[in-house]
């Protein structure tokens, strides 16, 4: 992995203390070496991107962050920052087809559902091995499942 990759942080844009606490704990437990940074509202997320010397390796943004909601943040970032993998943090009740379709159009590559679980978080982080410095998560299984006719 390149030094450049190791210097790029993971940015969590969330105001829920449970999400932030889980993120910090799982970040360490899953063996992720990228530093982590947290902003608590949409305006701070936009400012972060505007002033960053290096773009984050990964953006995890909550759908319901204050000031500017998660989808609006993604809309504002979409045209300018296309090379940052994006994850949308949603509540279980937010599983709406239109919401998911809109998020995907805005570049969201994956979804995390509250409450955050360690296995789900580590599995998600392993999907971004090319972008993150991860050594504690298992590599994703990309083999074709075998079937047996019986």
- How does residue 6 score in pLDDT terms, banded at 50, 70 and 90? low
Average pLDDT, the chain: 85
Does residue 116 register a pLDDT over 60? yes
Does residue 71 register a pLDDT over 50? yes
For residue 75 the two structure tokens come to 């809309």
Start-to-end C-alpha separation, the chain: 44
- Give the pLDDT of residue 136: 53
Does residue 97 register a pLDDT over 70? yes
Domains of the chain: 3-127 (3.40.50.2300)
- Give the pLDDT of residue 129: 79
């Amino acid at each position: 992995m390149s030094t450049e990759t190791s210097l790029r942080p993971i940015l969590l844009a969330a105001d829920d203390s449970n999400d932030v606490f889980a993120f910090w704990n799982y970040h360490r437990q899953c063996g992720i070496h990228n530093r982590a940074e947290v902003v608590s509202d949409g305006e701070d997320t936009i400012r972060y991107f505007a002033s960053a010397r290096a773009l984050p390796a990964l953006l995890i943004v909550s759908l319901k962050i204050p000031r500017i909601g998660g989808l609006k943040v993604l809309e504002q970032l979409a045209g300018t920052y296309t090379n940052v993998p994006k994850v949308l943090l949603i509540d279980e009740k937010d599983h709406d087809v239109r919401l998911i379709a809109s998020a995907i159009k805005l570049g969201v590559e994956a979804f995390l559902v509250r409450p955050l679980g360690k296995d789900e978080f580590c599995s998600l982080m392993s999907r971004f091995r090319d972008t993150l410095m991860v050594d504690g998560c298992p590599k994703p299984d990309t083999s074709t499942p075998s079937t047996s006719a019986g």
